[in-house]
Amino acid sequence: MTPAAVNAAYAVVALPLAGFVANLVLGRRLGEPKAGWVGTLAATGAFAAALVAWVGALGQPSASRSFDLKVFTWFPVAGLHVNVGLLVDPLSLTMALFVTGVSAAIHLYSIGYMHRDPGFDRFFVYLNLFLFSMAVLVMADNFLFSFLGWEGVGFCSYGLIGFWFQREVAAVAAKKAFVTNRAGDMGFLLAMFLLFAHFGSLNYSAVLGGLVGGHPTGLLAGAPGAVPGTTATAITLLLFLGAVGKSAQLPLYMWLPDAMEGPTPISALIHAATMVTAGVYLMARVAPLLHYAHATAWVVACVGVSTAFLAATIACAQDDIKKALAYSTISQLGYMFLAVGVGDYTDGVFHMLTHAFFKALLFLGAGAVIHALADRQDMKQMGGLARYLPVTAVTFGAAWLAISGIPPFAGFWSKDAILASAWEMNKVLWAIGALTAALTAYYMSRQFALVFTGRARWAEARPTPGGALAGAGAAFAEGEAGAGHAASGPGLPPPPHLEARPRDPSWVMAAPLVVLAIASVLGGGINFPAWHLDFLSRFLHPLFPATGAVASTATKWALSVVTTILSLGGLAFGLATWRTAEHPVLEPSFLRRAWYIDDTVSAAVSGPVQALADGLAYVMDRRLVDGFVNGVAGLLATSGRALRRVQNGYVRSYAFGLSVGVIALLAYVAFRVGS
Amino acid sequence: MDQYLPLLLIFALGLVFAVGSFAASRMLGPRPRLNPAKLGPFESGIAPRREPPARFPVRFYLVAMIFIIFDIEIVFLYPLAVMFNQLGLFGLVEMASFALVVFVAFAYLVSEGALDWGPGKRAGSRSGAPVTRSVSATVRRVSRPGAPTPQASPWAARGGEAAAAAGGPAASPASAAPKARVVG
Amino acid sequence: MTIFAGTAGPGCTISNLVTSEAKVSGLCTAKGSLSIPVEYRSIAPVLILGVAALVLLVLSATLPKRRYPGLWAGLTALAGIATTVDGIVQWANLDNPANTALTVGGQVLYDHFSAFFAILFGCATTLGAAISDSYLSREALDGPEPYVLMLACSAGAVLMAEAAGLITLFLGLEVLSISLYTMTAYHRRRAASGEAGLKYFILGSFSSAVFIYGAALVYGATGSTQYFEIFQFLTGTVVVHDGVLLAGMALLVAGLGFKVAAVPFHFWAPDVYQGAPTPFVGYMAAVAKAAGFAGLLRALMLALPTQVSSWRPAIWVLAVASVLVGSVMALVQADLKRLLAYSSISQAGYVLIGLQAGTQAGWSAASFYLFTYLFMVVGTFAVVGLTQGRGEVRNDLGSIRGLGQRNPWLAGGMLVLLLAQAGVPLTSGFLGKWLVISAVIGKGQYELALIGMVGAAIAAFAYLRVALLMYVPAAPTPARPGQPRGEGGGEPAVAPTGPGAPSGLAEVAGDLEALATAGLGATATAVALRAPSTARLRVPRATAAAIAVCVAFTVFAGVSTPVLSLAHSIGLTWSL
């Protein structure tokens, strides 16, 4: 029996769709800012609906909180029953809640951020379409429908990275993201074929089992032999390939830093908080299957932890404020995969949540900074902004402490739990993870220090032919800082690259910052590991197969202390060092160039591979394919023109043709007579 | 197969007769020496530039339709009269509804002016098209100087493939002229 | 409500006919009176449409002679809606198998198939009326007559689908055909229209003769024209000399093949489609095809299922020829209406593919195909009717060029309809093709499935050509210097690649042009690229609604199952 409130889940999907349609149809007419408000309203409504559905589900016993809301059946033909339906269970509810919640905040923020952009309405069309696709992805009740959402978010990501498609970099980055994701999608597709071949269905409940009448069934019940280990491994590995592409893990991570060419709210929503976590969601969704695929679990854990470490090192040497955050996102996603790999799905989801809060906040804060500095993104050109952007600085600071894993901020709890589980699985995994935690604290402190503390480097104009301007700019900055320098006259112009002094954004942009900051500070509370406050664990518990050994409380404490000390160390070092901007020793070029991976790949592709491809393209394309296609097309056109002669417009010819047809039929019949 | 033999024979006979007639007229008939003058109408004079118009007032057709209406009604009334007792009420009702249908057609015809023979009473067409356009435009188009002369075949497709490729409404008047001949 | 005049003891249902005296064929005698049991609900669609036609005639005779904008179309649409609703009601009623019956003197079959096609023709009438109204007033042709013809035509079509014997089928066929001949020739001031009507009439009469000859031969071979009696005769008797029967069958196939425009009986279609008033073409393409196929399905599946091994190869050839010839010829057309005519020929080929499977999957696929094709083709021709301009001055491919700018909504709708006809997933067209092909795969005919897919691939290019052309910018024609363009709203005339146009956009437009005209001859390319007016295209309200319904249905039926399940529950066998 489905409680009435759960039906609100329909609205979670329907409202963004309605917002999308409304903006598509009326967006141009509504214009700014109404189009944005329509989009925000849709997102907020979806969030409210998710809340209602969640409350409805909470009313049920914990093991019965799984509802399949069927919308309709598409293709009830020949064995393949593809439903269009929603699966409402703790996992999808959790995902829906945070996706719609963060979305609503970012929609609001975008109204301010996209102010006066010529593509304002287009932006919200994409944004609502994205939210719809994401809702479909997390709430679908079968793999194929999820895949539809999966492709939908991919498309929106493509469209939004290239939102300013007039900039060639943006267009190229969009293409890169699209192509990389295709590689992953192939894995997803193949996995679906395998699933259908083995289970004869693509429904989550049919494949993975579910909660029926309060009891787990199928794979979820741990029915051994339900699926051979090799099949499970193959399926999960292929799905993981899809996840790697979508969630930017090794080796398919290169697109994400480039994706920062998109508008900052997009980086926050799609490329930090929601879409990129879709891979983690997918792996958590197939947890019952992953349970039987130990090899895959190992691969997931190893890929996760190595991505986390590698991306963290790269993040230490980035100058672009958004690029640094992008590498940080990749690194944090690595943590989530580590959690999934070691079988600690709950904490993987937990970290996904907290990460969504603080990373979205970091991006939005970065956006506010970029906005304030008239689209400047180089951190080395910032500094001292805390005085000018107090709200931004405080909220950014909260996120900084959260991601650095400083108790009691949200990030600490989730990261700590993951590391504790990793310890139980393998000490090396833990060691790398802990080291990464220290690195994280370091590079985030570096970022905070570079942006908000130290000298106001942004006011020192770049080397210009007339040196006078530079001095004037500096004087202006000092004057505005109110440091008591009487030299600053009231008539001095602002520095050449800024129209006005940087200031905090308007309330539409500030409100989401504050909300997300509160979430980043208190987010740990949703899964507090003591006093029976681990709400999330208990909520998700029935959905995930029991993991192996659980670390003892004493071990946990010990590990917590160690990681906290490491994080604090990184934090202190970062803050202390980066009061000034020049420390080349700490930014070796191999880190600045991201371990040369992108360069190597480019070189490999542009070198021999390109040559090979060119050669093949010439032989295959020009000679074979083109020749074939042109030949066929020519043949068709020629035969069409020849046949046209018959169609000469004379009734007598037509009647003759008819008669020939009749006679041919009769002749055929004559052959069959008596047979 | 035997049962079809007579049928086949009839076919064969028909074929022989048809072929024979053509062959006979070829062989027996006089073979005139054909030249353009010989082929022209009246074998002399100025060749007509277009088909002579053979136009009937449309009212003749309307009268013919009225005739058909009553004709058909009567045709069906006879069997009813013969079978009246057996068919009973059902037959009567059926016949009445049939008569009603036919009467509607009659009423429509009358309203369209089938029985109005006075000149120019109903000059205005209900369709709203101006008179000049619906009547005189057709005439003028057919006889417009410089219009392409009618082709050998009355309904040669000017709309055929080649013409369509050449495109445009330019060729449209061509086939309007021979229409009268075909209908008549 | 079962009406039997007289107390007909055992109802003349199909199951009873097997045991009781079948030869009476429904003429039940009681109390010495000869009365025919009539189940009026079985002929309700025909009655609704016929009475509506009469009402229109009476109104036109009695109302003062002036224009009544929208009245005639509205009444026709109302009758169409009533037919549709009636069809749905009958469908629900027929869910009880006991209600299936052979009535009206054994001449009418009352079953799911009839109800399905009643719904189809009801929808066709409604949409046809909706898209004709604005066209007729634009061409100054409006009046009740075309709508009367349309209603009569629909009534004939319903009768063809309901017919339980060749005579009734012929009756329906003639009512349908004569109405269509007149509708084709209805554009008085357009010579092409009259020419098309005449061609259609002559060739149609020819094919009717062929059909009736076939019926006569079948009668000669089996002693009846009633499907059930033919079926009974053929199952009970081993026909040794089946020459007459097979010849009759071949002629029936030829006669109905003409109506559905199957190759090689298709020659009339391009000329007629090109000449007939555009909205009527949409209506005709949907209704004549559906009715012809309904008759063909009935005759082959109900009367001649025993001869299936004889007619399947014949239909196979017709299907393959239709798919290939239609697709290939569509590629080289420079006239939009001719292109769509060939497209409809190739679509008929797909229905034939479903028909020749001769299975439940086959005929339900064919029915589904016909139903969904109705919406695609009516919508498509509605759009063509709008772009061609007053007097149908431009029907060539170029007339649709730049539609994306002139009216993006219309272009979007047209795009959906074109993609559906090309068989792109998530549209009903895809589902239809897929069902048809899976039906023949179910029979193990992979070669036919392959041909079907190849044909779809070829035809897709023709549709994409149109779709591309819609988005080639309607470049303003290079006007003579100093002369402002007529309809362009007085903006200065610039050459397509003039200094005003960004070079990148011009390049893209050039690529599109090249792509859109690939494979056309030189003259045809020139025609296709002749830019139309760039003025915004206004869509009359009724037409817009009809197109919207068509597009919505095309998407709806492509992603959901109601229509599919309707088609799946159609039965075409005798329930003995």
Contacts of B156 in chain A (CB under 8 A): 649-650
Q: What is the pTM of this model?
A: 0.61
One domain, residues A11 and A98 = yes
Spatial contact of A316 and A440, defined as CB atoms under 8 Å apart? no
Question: Taking CB atoms and an 8 Å limit, are C198 and B155 in contact across chains?
Answer: yes
pLDDT at A617 over 70: no
- Residue A618: pLDDT over 60: yes
Considering the domain architecture, whether residues A392 and A452 belong to the same structural domain is answered as yes
Higher per-residue pLDDT: C509 or C227: C227
pLDDT (0 to 100) of residue A218:
67
Say what the pLDDT of residue B150 is.
Answer: 43
Contact A648 B161 (CB under 8 A): yes
Question: Mean pLDDT of all residues in chain A?
Answer: 79
Distance CA C205, CA A654 (A): 13
Subunits with 3+ C-beta pairs closer than 8 A to A: B, C
Same structural domain, A409 and A508: yes
Task: Write down the pLDDT at residue A452.
Answer: 83
Span C115-143, mean pLDDT? 94
pLDDT of A542 above 90: no
User: Does residue C395 carry a pLDDT above 90?
Assistant: no
Tell whether the model's pLDDT for residue A205 goes beyond 90.
Answer: no
Is the pLDDT score of A532 beyond 70?
no
Q: Which of the residues A643, A645, A651, A669 would you substitute to probe the B interface, choosing the one with the greatest number of B C-beta atoms within 10 Å? A: A651
Domain that holds residue C265: 40-471+540-568
Q: Which of B127, B142, B182 to mutate to probe the C interface, most C CBs <10 Å?
A: B127
pLDDT over 90 (residue C45): yes
What are the tens digits of pLDDT across the range A66-108?
787 777 766 655 456 677 788 888 888 888 998 998 899 888 8
Task: Kindly tell me if the per-residue pLDDT of C527 is higher than 70.
Answer: yes
Which tops the pLDDT comparison, A599 or A366?
A: A366
Instruction: Say if C171 falls within a structural domain.
Output: yes
> Is any Cβ of chain B less than 8 angstroms from the Cβ of C60?
yes
d(CA C396, CA C392): 10
Question: Does the pLDDT of residue A380 top 80, yes or no?
Answer: no
Residues with Cβ < 8 Å from A371, sequence gap 6 or more? A113, A505, A509
Query: pLDDT: is C147 or A463 the higher one?
Result: C147
User: What tens digit of pLDDT does each residue of A150-169 get?
Assistant: 888 888 888 888 777 777 77
Residues of C in contact with A647 (CB under 8 A): 267, 270-271, 329
Q: Write out pLDDT tens, residues A305-318.
A: 999 998 888 888 88
In terms of domains, do A88 and A50 share one? yes
* Residues A420 and A298 both lie in one domain: yes
**Measured between CB atoms, which of C57, C60, C338 is closest to B164?**
C338
Chains contacting B (3+ CB pairs below 8 angstroms) = A, C
Say yes or no for a CB contact (<8 Å) between A662 and C458: no
This complex has an ipTM of 0.83
Residue C12: pLDDT above 60?
Answer: no
- Specify if C168 maps to a domain: yes
Q: Identify whether A212 is part of a domain.
A: no
CA distances from A17 to A22, A39, A42, A132, A267 (A): 8, 10, 8, 6, 21
Whether the predicted pLDDT of A475 surpasses 60: no
Across the interface, whether the CB atoms of B86 and C33 are under 8 A apart is answered yes
Query: Are A427 and A537 found together in one domain?
Result: yes
In-domain check, residue A229: no
Whether residues A14 and A79 share a domain: the answer is yes
d(CA A155, CA A158): 5
Residue numbers of A between 76 and 115 with CB closer than 8 Å to C: 76-78, 84
How high is the pLDDT of residue C248?
94
Q: Is the pLDDT of residue A62 over 70?
A: yes
Judged against a pLDDT cut of 50, whether residue A127 lies above it is answered with yes
Residue, of A82 and C130, whose pLDDT is higher: C130
Q: What is the mean pLDDT of residues B84-113?
A: 87
Is residue B138 pLDDT above 50, yes or no?
Answer: no
Domain shared by A314 and A171, yes or no: no
Best-predicted range by mean pLDDT (A208-222, A279-293, B36-50): A279-293
pLDDT, position C50: 94
Residue A285 located in a structural domain: no
State the pLDDT confidence band at A623, using cuts at 50, 70 and 90: low
Max intra-chain CA distance, chain B = 74
Q: Could you tell me if A638 lies within 8 Å of chain C, comparing CB atoms?
A: no
Mean pLDDT score of chain B = 69
Among C66, C195, C242, the strongest candidate for a mutation testing the B interface, having the largest count of B CBs within 10 A, is C195
Residue A474's pLDDT is 43
> C536-576: per-residue pLDDT in tens?
888 999 999 999 999 999 999 888 778 888 888 888 888 75
C-alpha angle C24-C27-C30 in degrees, rounded to nearest 5? 110
Nearest-neighbour CA in chain A from C265: distance (Å): 5
- Report the share of chain A in percent with pLDDT over 70: 82
- Please report whether residue A244 resides in a domain: no
Closest listed residue to residue C559, CA positions, set A75, A140, A69: A75
What is the pLDDT, as a whole number, of residue C364?
92
Top-confidence residue, A63 or C359: C359
Domain membership of residue A43 (yes or no) is: yes
**Is there a single domain that holds both residue A384 and residue A414?**
yes
**Residues A672, A563: one domain?**
no
Nearest to C268 among A72, A636, A654 (CB): A654
Residue C200: per-residue pLDDT: 95
H/E stretch holding B136 reads none
Q: Which of A205-219, A514-528, C297-311, C526-540 has the lowest mean pLDDT?
A: A205-219
Q: Which of A212-221, C292-301, C492-501 has the highest mean pLDDT?
A: C292-301
Interface check A650 vs B, CB under 8 A:
yes
Q: Do B111 and C62 touch (CB under 8 A)?
A: yes
Confidence category of residue C209, pLDDT binned at 50, 70, 90: very high
Q: At C449, list the tokens.
A: 């499935």
Domain that holds residue A651: 645-675
C127 with C550: CB under 8 angstroms? yes
How many domains in chain A? 4
Highest mean pLDDT among A53-67, B130-144, C550-564: C550-564
Q: Which residue has the higher pLDDT, A605 or C90?
A: C90
Q: In terms of domains, do A356 and A433 share one?
A: yes
**Confidence class for position B117, pLDDT limits 50, 70, 90:** confident
Burial C279-302 (b: 16+ CB within 10 A, else e): bbbbbbbbbbbbbbbbbbbbbbbb
Between C203 and A391, residue with greater pLDDT: C203
Q: What is the mean pLDDT of residues A19-26?
A: 84
Higher-confidence residue of B170 and A383: namely: A383
Q: In whole numbers, what is the pLDDT of chain C averaged over residues?
A: 84
What gap in Å lies between CA C327 and CA A428, rounded to an integer?
65
Q: How confident is the model over A331-345, as pLDDT tens digits? A: 999 999 998 888 888
The pLDDT value recorded for residue C549 is: 95
Percent of chain A with pLDDT over 90: 5
How far is it, in rounded angstroms, from Cα A458 to Cα A375? 12
Task: Examine residue A613 and state whether it is found in any structural domain, yes or no.
Answer: yes
Check whether residue A49 and residue A65 sit in a common domain.
Answer: yes
Q: Does A654 touch chain C (CB under 8 A)?
A: yes
Q: Which residue has the higher pLDDT, A379 or C55?
A: C55
C-alpha angle C326-C332-C337 in degrees, rounded to nearest 5: 70
Mean pLDDT on A422-431: 86
CB C276 within 8 A of CB C182: no
Taking residues A520-542, report their average pLDDT: 76
Residue A472 inside a domain? The answer is no
- Count how many domains chain C has: 1
Q: Looking at residues A439-463, what average pLDDT do you find?
A: 78
User: Domain for residue C551, yes or no?
Assistant: yes
Task: Write out the two tokens for A614.
Answer: 């060119």
* Whether the predicted pLDDT of A656 surpasses 90: no
B133 to chain C: which residues are within 8 Å by CB?
Answer: 140, 189
Cβ contact (<8 Å) for C141 and B129?
yes
Model pLDDT, residue A210: 66
Q: Nearest residue of A to residue C192 by CA position?
A: A649
pLDDT at A591: 72
C573 inside domain: no
Please indicate, yes or no, if residue C14 is contained in any of the structural domains. no
Q: Count A/C contacts: CB-CB distance under 8 Å.
A: 109
B80 burial (CB, 10 Å; 0-12 / 13-18 / 19+) is middle
What is the per-residue pLDDT across C226-244, written as a single tens digit (0 to 9) for each? 999 999 999 988 877 788 9
Q: CA-to-CA distance for C172 and C191, rounded, in angstroms?
A: 29
pLDDT value of residue C229: 93
Across the interface, whether the CB atoms of B129 and C190 are under 8 A apart is answered no
CB atoms B156 and A644 under 8 Å: no
List residues of chain B with CB under 8 Å from any CB of chain C: 1, 3-4, 83, 86-88, 90, 100-101, 104-105, 107-108, 110-112, 122, 124, 126-129, 133-134, 137-138, 155, 157-161, 164-167, 169, 172-176, 179, 182
* Cβ separation A669–C310 shorter than 8 A: yes
- Is there a contact between A647 and B160 if contact means CB atoms under 8 Å apart? yes
C134 belongs to a structural domain: yes
